[in-house]
Amino acid sequence: MRTRLVLLGLVGALGCGGDDGAADGGDPRDAESILLTIDGDALVMPLEATMLVASVAPAGPNDGASVRWDVRSSTAELACDDVVELTQDGLNASLTIPAVGDARCRDELVVRATLTLADRTVTAEHRVEVTLPEGYGRTWTPDDDNPVLALDTCPTWSCLGHTDPAFYERPDGSTELWFSAGGDRGEFPVVGVGELVDGRVVSPRLILFPDPDADPRPWDHARETVNVVRDGERALMTYLGYAISYFDDPSIGVAHSDDGATWERTAAPVYTPSRPDGWDASFISGPMALRGSDGRWRLYYGGASTRSLGGKIGVLLSDDGESWTPHPANPVFANRVGEWDESVIDAHVVFAGGRYLMWHTGWVEPLTQDSRISIGLAESEDGIEWTRVSNEPVLTPGETGAWNDTSVVSPSIRVEADGSLMMAVHGTSTVRPVPTSPEFRPERVGIFRSAP
């Protein structure tokens, strides 16, 4: 539905610019004012490429009037001229908002008109409202080709299964799927990556693995649960690293790359649990980062302690993607004792429709090999204070005999150009693929989709 919004900007009286005004409480029509009119305000995410038509007019004569249009993000003071296409015709302008691109210039867009008259300048602005459609990201359909990664016959580097998938959109527009795996490369997990083509991962290759000859071992001798996000021309990788095991000495690492192939890791971890009585003292996992609408980085991760029941989710903050500080309110998303998400972990967060959305893993304690593990959804205005959108999970294990009939774990979300969502997860099954090895239950990766 297209709506029409009329905004009255006054010189001085409403703080919109200029030197004169009606601050004495007189009739505002006596002051210099402008009408800023926008057709197409109150948009519903997900957006196709959407056009707004804006016009401006002074309350009085407009002989010789000219206008300058600006578009920016409301929270990050980010200029959006290179994202929003603006075409001006006299005192009118058309603005085309893309379906993809920097969400801060799509979901938090401010349109500002600065009108110059013969002897004064008047300014008015308005934030374009964007809302999410009802039920966004709550209903998911599995791909027919699941699982999307073939399971090799041992011995190979990934023949024991695939876990912790993560989408990464390369600068050339292609999509990769990163994942952890196990096989013939020793006791530690390795990291692989392959291109996602027509719903299948093709040509998976080994990319990160421990050096068996390392002595002494670096703090991130083993690396897993990798997540990669593009930030302008660079890419930022977050990962879990350890020298002994993820129960003994886990830490979170960050690496940067200009081409997505060669990575420069930080010399030391950006975060290691340091308090023996802390909420995350016993276990951390699943780090993922995104740049928030305010320009600050948020790095979410799961943690647990033997001092309390169940996992929880915390966040680290950074202004530069290099130095990270735990939020003082950690954990920012707690488990619910007695509910299906008695333990929560492995969050993936996106910013859409002017808010943050978090898909997360959850299960009932105690965790066993046969625990049913599901995916839930929460939302937040600032990425810190969260509200569950439902008391029930949005994705549950598949039917008996399916590749994921026991669990769906570690969601990774990708927003498509048409506004639909893709979710990659890994899962386990009650089916044993090797009858002679009944304890072998490989984890597999599958993709689900959610329509706009």
Q: DSSP letter for 309, please.
A: S
Give the homologous superfamily in CATH for domain 3-131: Immunoglobulins (2.60.40.10)
- Residues 165 and 177: beta-carbon distance below 8 Å: yes
Query: Whose CA is closest to 407, among 442, 378, 450?
Result: 442
Phi and psi torsions of 339, nearest 5°: -110, 180
Per-residue pLDDT of the chain (452 residues; tens, 9 = 90+): 233 333 333 332 223 333 333 333 333 333 346 677 777 656 776 666 778 888 887 766 667 788 999 998 887 678 898 889 999 988 888 888 876 667 778 778 889 888 888 777 888 888 887 788 889 999 999 999 999 999 888 899 999 999 999 999 988 889 999 999 998 888 899 999 999 999 899 999 999 888 888 889 999 999 999 999 988 788 999 999 999 998 899 999 999 999 888 899 988 999 999 788 899 999 999 999 999 888 899 999 999 998 889 999 999 999 999 999 999 999 999 999 999 999 999 999 999 888 899 999 999 999 998 899 999 999 999 999 999 999 999 999 999 999 999 999 999 999 887 778 999 999 999 887 766 666 778 999 999 999 87
* pLDDT in the model for residue 245: 93
CATH architecture group of domain 141-450: 5 Propeller (2.115)
Residue owning tokens 């590749």: 403
Supply the pLDDT for residue 1: 25
Same topology for domains 3-131 and 141-450, yes or no? Answer: no
Find the length of the chain.
Answer: 452
The reply to whether omega before 366 is within 30° of 0 (cis) is yes
For 64, phi then psi, to 5°, come to 75, 10
Residue 304 CA to residue 344 CA, distance in Å, equals 9
| pLDDT for position 436 | 61
pLDDT of residue 260: 81
Q: Which two tokens stand for residue 323?
A: 């130095």
3-state secondary structure of 183: coil
Q: What angle do CA 129, 133, 138 make, to 5 degrees?
A: 135
Distance in angstroms (rounded) separating the CA atoms of residues 240 and 286: 7
For residues 61 and 101, the answer to whether their CB atoms sit within 8 Å is no
Which residue in 301, 324, 296, 304 sits closest to 314, CA to CA?
301
Q: Is the peptide bond before 155 cis (omega within 30 degrees of 0)?
A: yes
- Measured distance CA(66)–CA(54) in Å, rounded: 14
* Structure tokens that stand for 147 in this block: 């699982």
Domain boundaries, the chain: 3-131, 141-450
